[in-house]
Amino acid sequence: MNQKAWWLDVASPTWEDMRAIGKLLHLHPLTLEDILQQEPREKLELFPSLGYYFTVFRAVKSWDTHSGVGESATVESGVDEIYVYLVVFKQGVCTVSAPFHVYHVERVRNKVYDLDNAVSMSSAWIAHGLIDSIVDSFFPVLEHIEIEAAEIEKFYFSKGKASSVNPTMTNLRRMARTRRLVTTLGRVLATKGEVVGRLKKRLLTGEHGVIGQDDVEVAIYLGDVQDHILSLQQSLAHYERVLSQSHQTYLQHLRAVVSRGRSNQDFSVMLLTIVSIGVLPCQVIIGLFSLNVTVPQNSIPDGPYHWFGGMLTLCGVAMILYILVVRHWWRSAKRKIRRSALL
């Protein structure tokens, strides 16, 4: 019967804690330095003389643990990145991480209890369980991105909906937050495939040329994890293209709405200017014939007001001439706009 591997999980250790663990497990000073300084770069380092290999793996906080319900809470909060450090010996595993890592620890521990008699609980199997749990935690976030991308694409590209898009900053922020989420996940997943591939290769080559049956089985499972990572990266690339196209279309629609509003505003200002200028000739005529002097033909009380009628006629003629000039200018301006649009 194979001996079960031990598992030591340490959450947020201090320097004194890591120094004691380092003496107990004979850890290399570089390993202690990476753990205490929160090394962000994912990697796999081999220490054959000390009998272990060291892995840095970046994870995200479980999407189920986000506070609040609905789009505003989940999208605004984004994802919280955590760093998981695995020191894998032949006989056991030591994991070091932040308190949020307890989610993955509990998942793997429950799996260990469920498969206690069916699977040989080697250190490589426990390390695989943690890596698999970390990769699986990306899928709920991907499902949320898929829903957001589908809603945005359906709203902005459905027939008859493009003209009724509400140009508000809320929709623009929604697309920007979703794209930021896609970018964050893509950055976190960037080097995972390489680390898992190196770990799989190490299991298949064996230590000192000796390949165990458990290592081969774990390498097969790690191949499945690699497929999951590749699937996540391809899906994120697809959603990035969809969101990018939707974002550009929405910005173009916003530009059209703003341009239409400016055109209406310019037309209103121009119309007000035309009316204001058109009143000036009439004011000149009315002002000249409104002087406090005696005007011929109007000196007789209750007599005929020929000069008043003539003044009104002159005002009418001035307005008609002004309207004809403005109308000719307006048609010429329209022709120039059409010619520039064709060019």
* DSSP string for 244-280: HHHHHHHHHHHHHHHHHHHHHHHHHHHHHHHHHHHHH
Q: Which of 258, 274, 300 is the last residue of a domain?
A: 258
Please report whether residue 270 resides in a domain.
no
Within this chain, do residues 337 and 249 fall inside the same structural domain, yes or no? no
At 99 the three-state DSSP class reads helix
Q: Which of 207, 242, 258 is the last residue of a domain?
A: 258
Query: Quick one: which H or E segment has residue 217?
Result: helix 213-288
Q: What is the pLDDT of residue 299?
A: 57
Q: What is the pLDDT of residue 58?
A: 87
Q: What is the pLDDT of residue 212?
A: 66
Strands 43-47 and 52-60, sheet pairing: antiparallel
Residues 86, 97: Cα–Cα separation, whole Å: 9
Average pLDDT over residues 128-141: 88
Within this chain, do residues 206 and 320 fall inside the same structural domain, yes or no? no
Within this chain, do residues 195 and 140 fall inside the same structural domain, yes or no? yes
Beta bridge pairs of residue 85 = 56, 96
Question: With bands split at pLDDT 50, 70 and 90, how would you rate the model's confidence at 305?
Answer: low
Residues 26, 37: Cα–Cα separation, whole Å: 19
Within this chain, do residues 154 and 97 fall inside the same structural domain, yes or no? yes
At 239 the three-state DSSP class reads helix
Within this chain, do residues 216 and 77 fall inside the same structural domain, yes or no? yes
Average pLDDT over residues 134-149: 87
Within this chain, do residues 52 and 171 fall inside the same structural domain, yes or no? yes
| Structure confidence by residue, pLDDT tens digits, 13-39 | 888 888 899 999 999 999 999 988 888
Name residue 255's amino acid: R
| Structure confidence by residue, pLDDT tens digits, 69-117 | 333 334 444 577 888 899 999 889 999 876 656 777 888 888 777 766 6
φ, ψ at 201 (rounded to 5°): -65, -40
The two structure tokens encoding residue 66: 């986000």
Q: Which residues contact 308 (CB under 8 A, 6 or more apart)?
A: 289, 298
- Work out the angle between the directed axes of helices 192-205 and 213-288 (0-180°, nearest 10): 170
Within this chain, do residues 27 and 137 fall inside the same structural domain, yes or no? yes
Q: Which residues contact 310 (CB under 8 A, 6 or more apart)?
A: none
Give the CATH number of the domain where residue 128 resides. 1.20.58.340
Please report whether residue 272 resides in a domain.
no
pTM for the structure as a whole: 0.68
Helix, strand, coil % in the chain, rounded to nearest 5: 65, 10, 20
Q: Residue 251: pLDDT above 70?
A: yes
Residues 151, 247: Cα–Cα separation, whole Å: 13
Q: Which of 237, 258, 279 is the last residue of a domain?
A: 258
Within this chain, do residues 302 and 201 fall inside the same structural domain, yes or no? no
Q: Indicate the number of domains in the chain.
A: 2
Within this chain, do residues 120 and 212 fall inside the same structural domain, yes or no? yes
Within this chain, do residues 244 and 294 fall inside the same structural domain, yes or no? no
Within this chain, do residues 86 and 206 fall inside the same structural domain, yes or no? yes
Please report whether residue 276 resides in a domain.
no
Average pLDDT over residues 232-244: 88
Residues 226, 213: Cα–Cα separation, whole Å: 20
Please report whether residue 297 resides in a domain.
yes
Find the largest Cα–Cα distance for the chain: 135
Q: What is the pLDDT of residue 149?
A: 83
Segments forming the whole domain that contains residue 106: 6-258
